[in-house]
């Protein structure tokens, strides 16, 4: 699903210049890190002779913008989708996430969503419908007097 919406790369290429498979596609493989761990991590791996370079699945993706584990980012995305405030999200996420990080993620999510909107062909209302647009969305109130 994350590949379909462009949040994660569909493929990666080896960027090691001395690799025989330089600029060729890497393979998705499971890897355990550290070696004694039972948890497997999905990574891109170069299959070039004596290369074996690994890249994170998240490298260069939306998730690489934030230095947090994917489960933390997904929790924050759920809070954003539920339209919770930054302060409430901070309480839910706990001490390992700052308000600045949450605000940055929320901003990126708004930008990500606005990219998928066709802003030229938005239709408001319809036959027999009245649409009212508040002017405060377009201009700031000067000196609290209600004038534009």
C-alpha 95/C-alpha 79 separation (Å) is: 16
* Contact (CB, 8 A) for 72 and 89: no
55 plus 78 within the same structural domain: no
31 plus 71 within the same structural domain: no
Q: Could you give the number of structural domains in the chain?
A: 2
Give the per-residue pLDDT at 37.
72
Instruction: Kindly provide the residue ranges of all beta strands, DSSP E only, lying in 1-140, ordered along the sequence.
Output: 27-32, 40-45, 54-56
Helices 86-93 and 70-81 sit at what angle, rounded to 10 degrees?
Answer: 140
C-alpha 116/C-alpha 83 separation (Å) is: 19
The total number of residues written for the chain in this structure: 148
88 plus 59 within the same structural domain: no
Give the per-residue pLDDT at 90.
93
Give the per-residue pLDDT at 27.
77
C-alpha 50/C-alpha 85 separation (Å) is: 50
74 plus 38 within the same structural domain: no
Tell me whether residue 70 is in a domain. yes
Please state the pTM of the whole predicted model: 0.59
pLDDT tens track, the chain, 148 positions: 566 666 667 777 777 777 766 677 777 777 777 777 777 777 888 877 777 777 777 777 777 787 787 788 889 999 999 999 999 999 999 888 899 999 999 998 888 788 777 777 777 788 888 888 776 655 566 666 655 5
Tell me whether residue 13 is in a domain. yes
Its domain, for residue 70, covers 66-116
């Amino acid at each position: 699903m994350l590949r379909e919406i462009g949040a994660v790369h569909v493929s990666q290429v080896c960027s090691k210049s001395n690799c025989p498979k330089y600029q060729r596609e890497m393979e998705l493989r499971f890897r355990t890190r550290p070696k004694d761990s039972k948890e497997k991590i999905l990574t891109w791996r170069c299959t070039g002779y004596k290369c074996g370079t690994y890249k994170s699945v998240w490298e260069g993706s939306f998730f690489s913008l934030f230095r947090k584990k994917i489960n933390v980012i997904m929790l924050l995305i759920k809070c954003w989708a539920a339209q919770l405030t930054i302060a409430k999200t901070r309480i839910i996420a706990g001490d390992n996430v700052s308000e600045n990080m949450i605000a940055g993620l929320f901003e990126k999510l708004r930008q990500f969503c606005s990219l998928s909107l066709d802003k030229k062909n938005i239709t408001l209302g319809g036959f027999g419908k009245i649409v009212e647009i508040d002017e405060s969305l377009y201009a700031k109130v000067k000196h609290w007097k209600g004038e534009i």
